[in-house]
Amino acid sequence: MVSVINTIDTGHEDMIHDAEMDFYGLRLATCSSDNSVKIFDLKNGSQTLVADLKGHVGPVWQVAWAHPKFGNIVASCGYDSSDGSISILTNNGNNWDTHKISNAHTIGCNSVSWCPDVESSFDSVLNQKNNIKRLASAGCDNTIKIWKQEADQWIEETKLEAHSDWVKISFELMCNNKNFSLNPLILSKILPCSWSLTGGILAVSDGNNKVSLWKENSEGQWMCISELNKGQGSINNPDQRIM
């Protein structure tokens, strides 16, 4: 049985759309329709508001913490991201500096997710890439983009034009140095996807209440290896399809 261990009064003046704890569970970022992002310190079951950030001019949909090796950094997107921009909030002492990735997506950005920090003893290329900040974003232009920071600029590294509807993402693992492309086999609205810990299998859920598992073959192509529809008690093994 799940029980509530703590309740936090955020002081937001409107609906809360997202809340995310940092890597260590010591800080909480929240965002709301009151146009603000709030940062709380969490300690001994209590919380302290340390920042009330009002850089957005409309409801804020999502917040995401970067890995702490890069510092206290939060990415956010909201209603004002209808111009396609993404906000990067960086904590420098008592201040939070804001940097924007402008025109990231035409007609709007609706989701952001940081590439996690994954050490690898067998892939030197991955370790080199792992020292670079990387951010995935999804937009109303039906694309997913991966950004990397070079000096003070955010550069578009990869663009995935996989979907025929708005997309949201959960960017769990970028496990090798390959660029991959996805063909539009899934034509309904794509909901969050998630990698396995080893990066070998990708789970995708869509608006038709279906979860499919995809695996990369030796030729770098992604093949559907199983599907599960709502209400089914077992997993189907469809003819292998290439994505």
The string of pLDDT tens digits covering residues 88-118 is 999 998 899 999 998 888 777 888 888 777 5
Residue scoring higher pLDDT (221 or 33):
33
Q: Is the pLDDT of residue 40 over 70?
A: yes
Report the alpha-carbon distance of residue 64 to residue 152 in Å, rounded: 19
In this structure, how many other beta carbons lie within 10 angstroms of the beta carbon of residue 171?
23
Q: Is the pLDDT of residue 205 over 60?
A: no
Taking the model in full, what pTM does it have?
0.69
Provide the CATH topology of domain 16-118+131-166.
Answer: Methylamine Dehydrogenase; Chain H (2.130.10)
Per-range mean pLDDT, top range of 72-86, 87-101, 126-140, 178-192: 87-101
Report the alpha-carbon distance of residue 134 to residue 155 in Å, rounded: 10
- H helix or E strand, kind and range, residue 97: strand 95-101
- Residue 136 corresponds to which tokens in the numbers above? 């995935």
Residue scoring higher pLDDT (218 or 154):
154
Q: Is the pLDDT of residue 158 over 60?
A: yes
Q: Is the pLDDT of residue 132 over 90?
A: no
Tell me how many degrees the CA angle 81-84-86 measures, rounded to the nearest 5.
65
Mean pLDDT calculated for residue range 127-153:
77
Q: What letter represents residue 13's amino acid?
A: E
Share of the chain above pLDDT 70, in %: 63
Q: What letter represents residue 104's amino acid?
A: A
- H helix or E strand, kind and range, residue 195: strand 190-195
145 Cβ contact partners less than 8 Å away, ≥ 6 residues apart: 104, 105, 136, 137, 138, 139, 156, 158, 159, 160
Q: Is the pLDDT of residue 171 over 70?
A: no
- Residue 135 corresponds to which tokens in the numbers above? 């951010």
